[in-house]
Amino acid sequence: MKSNPPHEPPVPKTGHASSVSHLRGLLEVTRLLRADEDLESLLDACARTVSESLGFATVVITLYRPAWNDFEVVSVHGSEEARVVLMGTVREWADWEPLLDERFNRRGAYFIEHDSFDWESVEQTSFIPQFEPSDDPDAWHPEDALIVPLHGSSSGQPLGFLSVDEPESGRKPTDAELEVLVAVAAHAALAVEAAQEAAIAARHREALEQLLRVSAELTDSKSIESILGAVCDGIESALGFQKVSIDLPEPDTGRLRAQAAVGWDASDDVLLATTDPKDLRPLLDPRFEIEGCYLVPGEEARRLLRRGHGTYSSVMNGRGPKAWNHHWLLVPLHDRHGQVIGMIWADDPDDRLLPSRGRLQALRTFANQATTALASMSQFEEMRFLADHDPLTRLGNRRAFMARLELETSRALRYGSSFSLVVCDLDGFKELNDRFGHLAGDEALEHVADVLRDVLRGSDGAYRLGGDEFGLILVETGEVEVGDVVERVRVSLARSDDEHLAELCASFGVAVCPEQGVTPGELFNAADQAMYESKRSGV
Q: Report, as residue numbers or ranges, the catalytic residues.
A: 468
* H or E element that contains 190: helix 175-219
Cα–Cα distance, 5 to 166 (Å, whole number): 12
Provide the β-strand partners of residue 17. none
Tell me, letter by letter, the H, E, C secondary structure of 349-412.
Answer: ECCCECCCHHHHHHHHHHHHHHHHHHHHHHHHHHHHHHCCECCCCCCECHHHHHHHHHHHHHHH
User: Beta-carbon neighbour count of residue 310 at 10 Å?
Assistant: 14
Instruction: Identify the three-state secondary structure at position 71.
Output: strand
Read out DSSP for 445-511? HHHHHHHHHHHS-TTSEEEEEETTEEEEEEET--HHHHHHHHHHHHHHHT--SSTTTTT-EEEEEEE
User: Beta-carbon neighbour count of residue 418 at 10 Å?
Assistant: 19
Cα–Cα distance, 103 to 381 (Å, whole number): 75
Instruction: Identify the three-state secondary structure at position 338.
Output: coil
Cα–Cα distance, 147 to 110 (Å, whole number): 5
Angle in degrees, 0-180, between the axes of helices 479-493 and 438-455, rounded to the nearest 10: 140
Instruction: Identify the three-state secondary structure at position 512.
Output: strand
Task: Report the Cα 175 to chain-centroid distance in Å.
Answer: 53
Q: Give the strands of the sheet with 289-290, arranged side by side.
A: 256-262, 241-249, 340-349, 328-334, 293-296, 289-290
Closest CA to 224 of 246, 196, 201, 197: 246
User: Beta-carbon neighbour count of residue 210 at 10 Å?
Assistant: 23
User: Beta-carbon neighbour count of residue 33 at 10 Å?
Assistant: 15
Cα–Cα distance, 513 to 511 (Å, whole number): 7
